[in-house]
Amino acid sequence: MPRTLAKRLSLSGRRFPRRLRNKWLALAGLFGLFFVYEWLDLWSSPVLTAWVIVAYFVASFVLEAFFTESAFCKYVCPLGTFNFVYSTLSPSQIGVKNSAVCASCVGKECVNGSYAPQPIIRVDAIPVAGTDEPIARTVTHGPQGTLGCGTLLFAPQISSNLDCTFCLDCVRACPHANVGLMARTPGRELMQPGAWPQRWDVSLLPVMLTFIGLTNAFAMVPPVYELQRWLVEVAGLRSEFLVLLLIFTVGNLLLPIA
Protein backbone atom coordinates (compact mmCIF):
# COMPACT_ATOMS: atom_id res chain seq x y z
CA MET A 1 0.00 0.00 0.00
CA PRO A 2 2.66 2.67 0.91
CA ARG A 3 4.71 1.67 -2.13
CA THR A 4 1.78 1.81 -4.53
CA LEU A 5 0.57 5.18 -3.24
CA ALA A 6 4.10 6.64 -3.19
CA LYS A 7 4.76 5.57 -6.78
CA ARG A 8 1.49 7.11 -7.93
CA LEU A 9 2.41 10.43 -6.31
CA SER A 10 6.10 10.33 -7.18
CA LEU A 11 7.50 12.73 -9.76
CA SER A 12 11.10 11.62 -9.35
CA GLY A 13 12.96 9.19 -11.55
CA ARG A 14 16.21 9.16 -9.60
CA ARG A 15 17.96 6.04 -8.43
CA PHE A 16 19.27 5.59 -4.91
CA PRO A 17 22.81 7.07 -4.53
CA ARG A 18 25.38 4.64 -5.94
CA ARG A 19 27.56 4.69 -2.82
CA LEU A 20 24.59 3.59 -0.71
CA ARG A 21 23.51 0.70 -2.94
CA ASN A 22 24.77 -1.93 -0.51
CA LYS A 23 23.85 -3.49 2.83
CA TRP A 24 25.89 -1.25 5.14
CA LEU A 25 22.90 0.96 6.05
CA ALA A 26 20.82 -2.16 6.70
CA LEU A 27 23.58 -3.63 8.88
CA ALA A 28 23.69 -0.41 10.90
CA GLY A 29 19.90 -0.56 11.17
CA LEU A 30 20.02 -4.15 12.42
CA PHE A 31 22.51 -3.19 15.10
CA GLY A 32 20.47 -0.14 16.10
CA LEU A 33 17.13 -1.96 16.14
CA PHE A 34 18.28 -4.80 18.38
CA PHE A 35 20.15 -2.40 20.66
CA VAL A 36 17.10 -0.13 21.07
CA TYR A 37 14.94 -3.23 21.63
CA GLU A 38 16.99 -4.07 24.74
CA TRP A 39 17.79 -0.54 25.90
CA LEU A 40 14.20 0.78 25.79
CA ASP A 41 12.53 -2.56 26.64
CA LEU A 42 10.37 -2.43 23.53
CA TRP A 43 8.73 -5.77 24.36
CA SER A 44 6.99 -4.10 27.34
CA SER A 45 6.11 -0.78 25.67
CA PRO A 46 3.28 -0.87 23.10
CA VAL A 47 3.60 2.91 22.60
CA LEU A 48 7.28 2.81 21.64
CA THR A 49 6.68 -0.24 19.47
CA ALA A 50 3.89 1.64 17.68
CA TRP A 51 6.24 4.55 17.01
CA VAL A 52 8.80 2.17 15.52
CA ILE A 53 6.10 0.86 13.16
CA VAL A 54 5.09 4.41 12.21
CA ALA A 55 8.73 5.28 11.51
CA TYR A 56 8.99 2.23 9.23
CA PHE A 57 5.98 3.28 7.15
CA VAL A 58 7.10 6.92 6.92
CA ALA A 59 10.65 5.97 5.87
CA SER A 60 9.31 3.49 3.33
CA PHE A 61 6.87 6.02 1.86
CA VAL A 62 9.45 8.81 1.58
CA LEU A 63 12.11 6.66 -0.08
CA GLU A 64 9.56 5.10 -2.44
CA ALA A 65 8.42 8.58 -3.49
CA PHE A 66 11.92 9.90 -4.13
CA PHE A 67 13.60 6.95 -5.85
CA THR A 68 12.68 4.61 -8.70
CA GLU A 69 13.49 1.39 -6.87
CA SER A 70 12.27 0.21 -3.45
CA ALA A 71 15.32 1.65 -1.75
CA PHE A 72 13.94 1.14 1.75
CA CYS A 73 13.34 -2.59 1.27
CA LYS A 74 16.56 -3.24 -0.63
CA TYR A 75 19.12 -1.05 1.13
CA VAL A 76 17.74 0.31 4.41
CA CYS A 77 15.16 -1.91 6.13
CA PRO A 78 16.82 -4.06 8.82
CA LEU A 79 13.92 -6.53 9.00
CA GLY A 80 13.89 -6.90 5.23
CA THR A 81 17.60 -7.66 5.30
CA PHE A 82 16.96 -10.19 8.07
CA ASN A 83 14.39 -11.89 5.84
CA PHE A 84 16.65 -11.75 2.77
CA VAL A 85 19.28 -13.84 4.53
CA TYR A 86 16.91 -16.47 5.90
CA SER A 87 15.00 -16.68 2.61
CA THR A 88 18.05 -18.53 1.26
CA LEU A 89 16.67 -21.53 3.17
CA SER A 90 13.34 -21.28 1.36
CA PRO A 91 12.19 -24.23 -0.81
CA SER A 92 10.81 -21.80 -3.40
CA GLN A 93 12.09 -18.97 -5.58
CA ILE A 94 10.76 -16.63 -8.25
CA GLY A 95 11.42 -18.07 -11.70
CA VAL A 96 10.09 -18.23 -15.25
CA LYS A 97 8.38 -21.07 -17.08
CA ASN A 98 9.83 -20.35 -20.52
CA SER A 99 12.84 -18.08 -21.04
CA ALA A 100 11.93 -17.70 -24.74
CA VAL A 101 8.76 -15.88 -23.71
CA CYS A 102 10.84 -13.41 -21.68
CA ALA A 103 13.15 -12.86 -24.66
CA SER A 104 10.14 -12.02 -26.85
CA CYS A 105 8.45 -9.79 -24.26
CA VAL A 106 8.78 -6.14 -25.28
CA GLY A 107 7.75 -4.38 -22.07
CA LYS A 108 9.54 -6.57 -19.50
CA GLU A 109 6.62 -5.88 -17.15
CA CYS A 110 8.04 -8.13 -14.42
CA VAL A 111 10.58 -5.39 -13.66
CA ASN A 112 9.01 -2.32 -15.32
CA GLY A 113 5.38 -2.90 -14.34
CA SER A 114 2.24 -2.18 -16.32
CA TYR A 115 1.24 1.12 -14.72
CA ALA A 116 0.85 4.14 -17.02
CA PRO A 117 -0.98 7.47 -16.51
CA GLN A 118 -2.78 6.95 -19.83
CA PRO A 119 -3.92 3.66 -21.42
CA ILE A 120 -1.37 2.06 -23.75
CA ILE A 121 -1.96 -1.03 -25.88
CA ARG A 122 0.67 -3.08 -27.68
CA VAL A 123 0.86 -6.52 -29.26
CA ASP A 124 3.63 -9.02 -28.42
CA ALA A 125 4.55 -11.98 -30.62
CA ILE A 126 4.98 -14.78 -28.07
CA PRO A 127 6.48 -18.18 -28.99
CA VAL A 128 4.42 -21.31 -28.34
CA ALA A 129 6.01 -24.65 -27.44
CA GLY A 130 5.72 -27.23 -30.20
CA THR A 131 5.16 -24.77 -33.03
CA ASP A 132 7.24 -22.32 -35.05
CA GLU A 133 4.44 -19.79 -35.27
CA PRO A 134 4.23 -17.23 -32.44
CA ILE A 135 0.88 -16.03 -31.19
CA ALA A 136 -0.15 -12.37 -30.97
CA ARG A 137 -0.96 -11.30 -27.43
CA THR A 138 -2.41 -7.92 -26.53
CA VAL A 139 -0.81 -6.18 -23.54
CA THR A 140 -2.50 -3.21 -21.86
CA HIS A 141 -0.92 -0.60 -19.60
CA GLY A 142 -2.92 1.98 -17.71
CA PRO A 143 -3.78 3.63 -14.37
CA GLN A 144 -4.94 0.27 -12.98
CA GLY A 145 -1.68 -1.44 -13.94
CA THR A 146 0.63 -3.28 -11.56
CA LEU A 147 4.03 -2.09 -10.36
CA GLY A 148 7.01 -4.21 -11.36
CA CYS A 149 9.72 -5.58 -9.08
CA GLY A 150 10.54 -3.01 -6.42
CA THR A 151 14.12 -4.19 -6.06
CA LEU A 152 14.67 -4.18 -9.86
CA LEU A 153 15.15 -7.92 -10.28
CA PHE A 154 14.60 -9.24 -13.81
CA ALA A 155 12.70 -12.52 -13.37
CA PRO A 156 14.65 -14.75 -15.84
CA GLN A 157 17.96 -13.61 -14.31
CA ILE A 158 17.11 -14.25 -10.65
CA SER A 159 19.63 -16.74 -9.26
CA SER A 160 18.90 -16.48 -5.52
CA ASN A 161 16.39 -15.14 -3.01
CA LEU A 162 18.66 -12.29 -1.91
CA ASP A 163 16.93 -8.93 -2.54
CA CYS A 164 13.62 -10.67 -3.33
CA THR A 165 10.82 -9.67 -0.93
CA PHE A 166 8.38 -12.31 -2.29
CA CYS A 167 5.82 -9.54 -2.85
CA LEU A 168 4.84 -11.31 -6.11
CA ASP A 169 4.44 -8.01 -7.97
CA CYS A 170 6.42 -9.54 -10.84
CA VAL A 171 3.95 -12.44 -11.01
CA ARG A 172 0.96 -10.10 -11.13
CA ALA A 173 2.62 -7.77 -13.64
CA CYS A 174 3.64 -10.43 -16.18
CA PRO A 175 1.06 -10.23 -19.00
CA HIS A 176 2.03 -13.68 -20.29
CA ALA A 177 1.59 -15.62 -17.01
CA ASN A 178 5.20 -16.74 -17.36
CA VAL A 179 6.50 -15.80 -13.89
CA GLY A 180 5.78 -17.73 -10.71
CA LEU A 181 7.10 -19.44 -7.60
CA MET A 182 9.30 -22.37 -8.53
CA ALA A 183 10.59 -25.21 -6.34
CA ARG A 184 14.27 -25.10 -5.47
CA THR A 185 16.80 -26.72 -3.17
CA PRO A 186 16.84 -24.96 0.23
CA GLY A 187 20.19 -23.35 0.96
CA ARG A 188 21.23 -23.45 -2.68
CA GLU A 189 23.29 -20.27 -2.24
CA LEU A 190 25.59 -22.15 0.16
CA MET A 191 26.14 -24.97 -2.33
CA GLN A 192 26.53 -22.71 -5.36
CA PRO A 193 29.04 -19.98 -4.43
CA GLY A 194 28.24 -18.03 -7.59
CA ALA A 195 24.70 -17.40 -6.33
CA TRP A 196 26.03 -15.50 -3.29
CA PRO A 197 27.38 -11.99 -4.12
CA GLN A 198 31.12 -11.69 -3.50
CA ARG A 199 30.87 -8.54 -1.39
CA TRP A 200 31.99 -7.77 2.16
CA ASP A 201 28.63 -6.32 3.21
CA VAL A 202 26.64 -9.34 2.00
CA SER A 203 29.19 -11.81 3.41
CA LEU A 204 29.01 -10.13 6.82
CA LEU A 205 25.21 -10.36 6.96
CA PRO A 206 24.76 -14.04 7.98
CA VAL A 207 27.69 -13.85 10.41
CA MET A 208 26.38 -10.70 12.06
CA LEU A 209 22.84 -12.06 12.27
CA THR A 210 24.14 -15.15 14.05
CA PHE A 211 25.97 -13.08 16.66
CA ILE A 212 23.01 -10.71 17.05
CA GLY A 213 20.80 -13.69 17.90
CA LEU A 214 23.31 -14.96 20.46
CA THR A 215 23.85 -11.52 22.01
CA ASN A 216 20.15 -10.79 22.32
CA ALA A 217 19.51 -14.21 23.83
CA PHE A 218 22.33 -13.54 26.31
CA ALA A 219 20.73 -10.18 27.20
CA MET A 220 17.61 -12.06 28.37
CA VAL A 221 19.26 -14.40 30.88
CA PRO A 222 20.55 -13.72 34.44
CA PRO A 223 24.33 -13.84 33.64
CA VAL A 224 24.01 -10.57 31.72
CA TYR A 225 23.33 -8.77 35.01
CA GLU A 226 26.57 -10.14 36.45
CA LEU A 227 28.42 -8.84 33.40
CA GLN A 228 26.79 -5.43 33.76
CA ARG A 229 27.80 -5.21 37.44
CA TRP A 230 31.35 -6.22 36.51
CA LEU A 231 31.53 -3.49 33.87
CA VAL A 232 30.27 -0.93 36.38
CA GLU A 233 32.97 -1.93 38.88
CA VAL A 234 35.88 -2.34 36.46
CA ALA A 235 35.18 0.29 33.79
CA GLY A 236 33.29 2.71 36.01
CA LEU A 237 30.33 2.83 33.62
CA ARG A 238 27.28 4.16 35.45
CA SER A 239 24.95 4.48 32.49
CA GLU A 240 22.85 1.52 31.37
CA PHE A 241 23.04 2.95 27.85
CA LEU A 242 26.85 2.79 27.81
CA VAL A 243 26.95 -0.67 29.41
CA LEU A 244 24.55 -2.15 26.86
CA LEU A 245 26.28 -0.30 24.02
CA LEU A 246 29.61 -1.85 25.02
CA ILE A 247 28.10 -5.35 25.24
CA PHE A 248 26.36 -5.01 21.88
CA THR A 249 29.39 -3.48 20.19
CA VAL A 250 31.59 -6.38 21.25
CA GLY A 251 28.98 -9.08 20.63
CA ASN A 252 27.39 -7.77 17.43
CA LEU A 253 30.25 -5.91 15.74
CA LEU A 254 33.73 -6.80 16.95
CA LEU A 255 33.23 -10.57 17.25
CA PRO A 256 31.55 -10.96 13.80
CA ILE A 257 34.32 -8.91 12.15
CA ALA A 258 37.00 -10.88 13.97
pLDDT tens sequence across 48-66: 999 988 998 888 888 888 8
For the residues 24-30, what does the mean pLDDT come to?
92
Percent of the chain with pLDDT over 70: 93
Q: Which residues in 111-157 belong to E strands, given as ranges?
A: 120-126, 135-141
Mean per-residue pLDDT, 188-209: 82
3-state secondary structure of 120: strand
pLDDT at position 7, please?
61
pLDDT exceeds cutoff 70 at 223: yes
Where residue 92 falls among pLDDT bands split at 50, 70, 90? very high
pLDDT on residue 8: 62
Per-residue pLDDT of 121-179, as tens digits, reads: 888 888 877 777 788 888 889 888 888 898 899 999 998 888 898 989 999 999 999 99
Model's pTM, two decimal places? 0.80
pLDDT of residue 4: 65
Using pLDDT thresholds of 50, 70 and 90, give the confidence band for residue 5. Answer: low
Mean per-residue pLDDT of the chain = 86
| Highest averaged pLDDT of the listed ranges 13-22, 152-161, 219-228 | 152-161
Q: Is residue 9 over pLDDT 70? A: no
Number of helical H runs and strand E runs in the chain: 13, 4
pLDDT at 228: 86
CB atoms < 10 A from the CB of 248, how many? 21
Domain map (residue ranges) of the chain:
2-86, 92-184, 198-257
Q: Is beta strand 120-126 parallel, antiparallel or unpaired with respect to 92-96?
A: unpaired
| CB count in 10 Å sphere of residue 215 | 22
- How far apart CA 72 and CA 59 sit, in angstroms, is 7
